[in-house]
Amino acid sequence: MTPDERVTTPISEKKKLQNRVPMKEKKRIVLIAHDNKKQDLLEWASWNKKLLANHELYGTGTTGGIIANELGLHVHRFKSGPLGGDQQVGSKISDGDMDLMIFFWDPMSAQPHDVDVKALLRLAVVYNIPVACNRSSADFMISSPLLDMKYERRIDDYAAILIDV
């Protein structure tokens, strides 16, 4: 591709390179909820306790503690979201160490770490991590037959795309 073609060729027409990331049957699921949504997530997790118990669970600070204490499930805990937990989760996603994110966020309350939340959701999209942001989407995600199967995520190679632009 010549320099002139790079300028005039839309990115959508350029060759998209993709990396493939295998996911095992046992998924690594992170559970996150804003304060006004913690009870909703707890109720949802309680309803789905048997399914969640078959997977490796992670959670940010208080949310992870609530799930572990109330439901007796083992939850690897990160720091609280505003204290760096969102960045810790984002790091795990970018390292390929997270498979699903269930994040009940509160669209009606301003968060002191809104920028961190947006960055976390952006990383989930970049690394093609399934995200459930409410009870309905979480229900659809957890009831998917893909949950207990091997799966191969495809991730666009943004570095190659950006270099070629």
Q: Other C-beta atoms within 10 Å of 93: how many?
A: 21
| Euclidean distance between CA atoms 156 and 64, whole angstroms | 31
The torsion angles phi and psi of 91, rounded to 5 degrees, stand at -65, -45
Please, are residues 29 and 102 in contact by the beta-carbon 8 Å criterion? yes
3-state secondary structure of 109: coil
Is residue 106 among the annotated active site residues? no
| Euclidean distance between CA atoms 14 and 33, whole angstroms | 38
- Choose the catalytic residue: 4, 35, 40, 86: 86
Catalytic positions, written as ranges:
86
